[in-house]
Amino acid sequence: MKAALVLFALICLALFTSCDLDDADSLAQTEIRDILYDLSLDFNLGNIYGMLDHVDNDYLHKGQITWHLNEEILDRMGRFQLLEIEVLYIEIDGNYAVAHTVDHYSSSIESVSYNEPEDSGYFSYFHRKQGSWLIYGNQFWIKSGGI
């Protein structure tokens, strides 16, 4: 009887532990999706400062710092009025995440879609820092010897 009780307790412990991991990943997915939604909303409102609020101070994307990201956002705001970010899926690896999206930019004269992170990836790479997810850039290119 005690063996069955211990076995039952171990099974329950395993189930509760796996639920915590699923809940943490689910929460992270929700937080990142919310950030991507905020980015599109801020873009549509012309609020570059709101967009940059989601960027880590240590942002570095393939050798480009936050200044480059700021310039890219301003260029796109000058060309397009609307941004819709369609989230395909998000890969989470501990405190790092990569969001795979299709970013739809449109204006009265043109529409362009970018498959991210393949096309540029400016808003695709996240890092969890002090309890919050922030856009961090693809800093793994340093380790792979990329430029």
What are the structural domain ranges in the chain? 2-144
pLDDT of 28 reads: 94
Cβ-Cβ contacts under 8 Å for 90 (sequence gap 6 or more): 28, 29, 32, 33, 97, 98, 99, 100
pLDDT of 147 reads: 45
Neighbours of 138 (CB within 10 A): 20
pLDDT of 4 reads: 54
pLDDT of 35 reads: 97
Distance of alpha carbon 100 from its chain centroid, rounded? Answer: 8
pLDDT of 19 reads: 47
pLDDT of 25 reads: 87
pLDDT of 143 reads: 55
Inter-residue contact 80 to 107 (CB < 8 Å):
yes
Question: What is the full per-residue pLDDT of the chain (147 aa) written as tens digits?
Answer: 665 555 555 555 555 554 445 688 889 999 999 999 999 999 999 999 999 999 999 999 988 899 999 999 999 999 999 999 999 999 999 999 999 999 999 999 999 999 999 988 899 999 999 999 999 999 875 555 544
d(CA 75, CA 29): 29
Residue 137 carries which DSSP code?
-
**2-144 has which CATH code?**
3.10.450.50
